[in-house]
Structure formats: structure tokens, C-alpha cells
Structure 1
Amino acid sequence: MTEPAMTEPVMPGAALSIQPAQAEQEWEVLAWLWQCFRHDLALAVGALPYADGRYQAQDLPRAPGEDHVAYLAWRAHPKTGEQAPLGFAVVEGLTGQRRGLAALWVAPVVRREGLGQQIALDVLGRHHGPWSIAFQHDNPAAGRFWRGVADLAFGSGGWGEQKRPVPQRPDVPPDHWLESR
């Protein structure tokens, strides 16, 4: 696997490196973490694993593309010192008028360290233009998180929120969409 670039010394709990997934092995790591992401969403979206034991991955790109990019967040593993993935973000709409954050996930054990916010702000800052960020109605923690990120990234009053029906799912509450102005 390609060693992620670090800007500070590597030690447990230290520097976080957020890099685009480029090598095939990095996309394999992303695919594994995607399963954790979908597992976390399972209660909010009523999902079960498929016959092969995995959650759906049709929305996960398989390689870098013109219209999307994925980022992996790395930090030294506290037991081995080797770089370990702590989270990821997937951005879509790079060739369109509006960017979208298709997914963001952080390992549960480090969620209270502010890494999710750090990853989100880093990724939002890398791609200029208007943004859309969606989250499920039944996930109030996500709502608090994303509204706080939107205030920091776009400024208070620099974004709006609306509810939109989930396509092909009239049985579930609408999703919330935050959009920068």
C-alpha cells in the first residue's frame, strides 16, 4: 500500500493525514470501511446485509474518476505505529455545478476526538463551489454534526436546510439536505 504523506511525526494519537485514495489497495481499504459505514446506517435506513454477508456497495466508486474522489484519513495505530485508516469521505459532483458529500465515516473509537469535523472541513475546503450534504431524518446526531460543520465551513447564514423525499421510499421520513449558498 502507498504510504500516506505525513506533515508531522507519526505517533499514536498524533497527526492525521487525509489523502485521496489512488492506489488499488487504498480502494480496497475504502471498500472494507464502506461496510462499516453501511452497518452504521443500517438502523436509520432499515438495511440488512445481502446473501454474501455484505451491505450494499453500489454507491461506492471503485476507482478515482472525473466526477468523484474518495479520501482516506490515516493516523498511526496506537499498538503498531503503522498507518491505519480512521475514516473516509466520498465526494461526488466534481464536474457539475454542485459538489456533494456522498459519504463520511469515522471509526467509532475516535469519534469524540473531533476527527469527523476535521475530515469534513478538510474535504469541503479542497473543492470550491456550492455544496450539498444529506443526512437521514432519524439520525439526530448527524443533524447536529452537519449543522455545526456547515456553520464552520460556510458561515452562519451561509447555508440552508430543506427536507426532500427519499427516492423510491415513500415509507420513510424525508432526508435533510444542507446546501451552501
Structure 2
Amino acid sequence: MTHQWQGQHPLIVRPAREGDRVPLERLWLIFRHEMSRWTGALPDPDGSYRSERLLLSLSSPSWAAWLLTAGDHPIGFCLTRAMDTPVRIVTSFFVVIPARRAGAGTALLRGVVTADPGTWSVAYQDANAAAARFWTKVASAYDPHHSLERRRVPGKPDLPPDCWVTFRVPPDQRGADQ
């Protein structure tokens, strides 16, 4: 049975559990396919995409995976790394198309960053206009003094630089309404 997004299901943001591996892997394929618009990456011979970030987020103590659900429907994820450093990094962030521009992405990010207030950073490509708008908006909401910096992509001189936005989430945001 196919379900349509109409915003009627409660949004739940939570750390991923072992039982979330399959839905995360399926969402990951959609995410990587969508990102291929900017990266030019082709699927591997078996039809999958590189997934080391997803695997690390489920196995490494310095990484974390978060799942966004609408009721019992998985609709997004956030992968983070450097969780044991002063600046935590959002390394992958995804919400399915029907749930975009309805507050789902903002709810997902809020759930992640308020669980661990402090300094956060994320990279995106300027060509991804929707990502540029989203990350600038949420960084401004948390930190009016956020920073933007363009950095070359390591080992990929043919790619345009990533735009890194860094923002601080104050400790009083911990446990904010999600």
C-alpha cells in the first residue's frame, strides 16, 4: 500500500537503532541518487551507491545516525560525525520529497542539534539552491553570527568548493520542543 504525505502523521526524530538499518539503507539509496545531480556519481555495478558514511554512522562511536519518521513511515535521516570534538559535523541530511518545505527538515535538524548543543557545521554545494536556502535559514535561526566559508573538496580538484556553514546551538536549546 502506498501512503501519501499530508502532514497528518506526528513527526518523530530519534537516534537510529539496529532495527533501522534497512529503512536507512533504502533512504540512503534515494539520497545518493538525488545527490548524483551535483556529484555526477554513478551507481556501483550492483546498483548501490557508496555507503561508508552510513555504515560508519551505525558502527563508530564518533558518528551518529538519526531517523525521522512520520508515524511509522521513515521519511528522513541525519548522519553526523566528529561527535567527540568541539565542532560536530552534519555529514548527510535527507528528507523525502513529499515532506519537504513542510517543516520536516527543520524538525529533524532541531532534534539532532538540540540533543547535543554546541558548535555544528555542514557542507553543501552552492549549485544546490534548496540546500543553500535551508542551511542558511536554520543557521541564522540558531546563531545570527554563523559563518560561511568555501573550501575545496579534498582530493577532488574538479569539483567546485563546498560551502561550509558553521553555527552554534546554545545549551538552553537542549530538549527544546521537537
TM-score scaled by length of structure 2:
0.85
Paired with 1:39 and 1:127, the residues of 2 have a C-alpha distance of 30
Aligned residue identity for 2:61: E
Cα displacement (A) at 1:29: 1.4
Residue 150 of structure 1 aligns to a residue whose secondary structure is helix
Corresponding residue number in structure 1 for 2:60: 65
Structure 2 unaligned spans of 5+? 1-5, 169-178
Q: Which SS does the other structure have where 1:59 is aligned?
A: helix
Distance across 1 between alignment mates of 2:81 and 2:99: 25
Q: Is the 8 A contact 1:71 1:89 kept in 2?
A: yes
Identify the residue that residue 74 of structure 1 maps to in structure 2.
69
Identity among equivalent positions (%) equals 32
* Other-structure match for 1:86: 75
Q: Using the TM superposition, give the Cα deviation of residue 94 of structure 1 relative to its aligned residue in structure 2, in angstroms.
A: 1.0
Q: Provide the residue aligned with 2:133 in structure 1.
A: 144
Q: 2:100 aligns with which of 111, 129, 135?
A: 111
Q: Is the 8 A contact 1:99 1:132 kept in 2?
A: yes
Residue 55 of structure 2 aligns to a residue whose secondary structure is coil
2:49 corresponds in structure 1 to: 55
Unmatched segments (≥5 aa) in structure 1: 1-10, 77-82
- The letter of the residue matching 1:29 is P
Bigger shift: residues 57-66 or 117-126: 57-66
Work out the CA distance in 1 between the residues paired with 2:105 and 2:64.
17
Distance in structure 1 (CA, Å) of the matches to 2:165 and 2:92: 14
Higher relative contact order, chain-length normalized (CA < 8 Å, sep 6+): 2
1:33 aligns to 2:27 (yes or no): yes
Q: Which amino acid aligns with 2:160?
A: P
TM-score normalised per structure 1: 0.84
Q: CA deviation at 1:153?
A: 2.1
Amino acid at match of 2:63: H
Moved over 4 A (4+): none
Alignment CA distance shift 1:19-1:64 (3 Å)? farther
In the TM superposition, residue 13 of structure 1 has moved relative to its aligned partner by: 1.6
CA distance in 2, matches of 1:167, 1:91: 19
Question: Is 1:130–2:115 an aligned residue pair?
Answer: no
Matched, 1:18 2:18: no
Kindly indicate whether the alpha-carbon contact (under 8 Å) linking 2:13 and 2:107 is maintained by their aligned counterparts in 1. no
Which AA in structure 1 matches 2:134? Answer: F
1: CA distance, partners of 2:65 / 2:105:
15
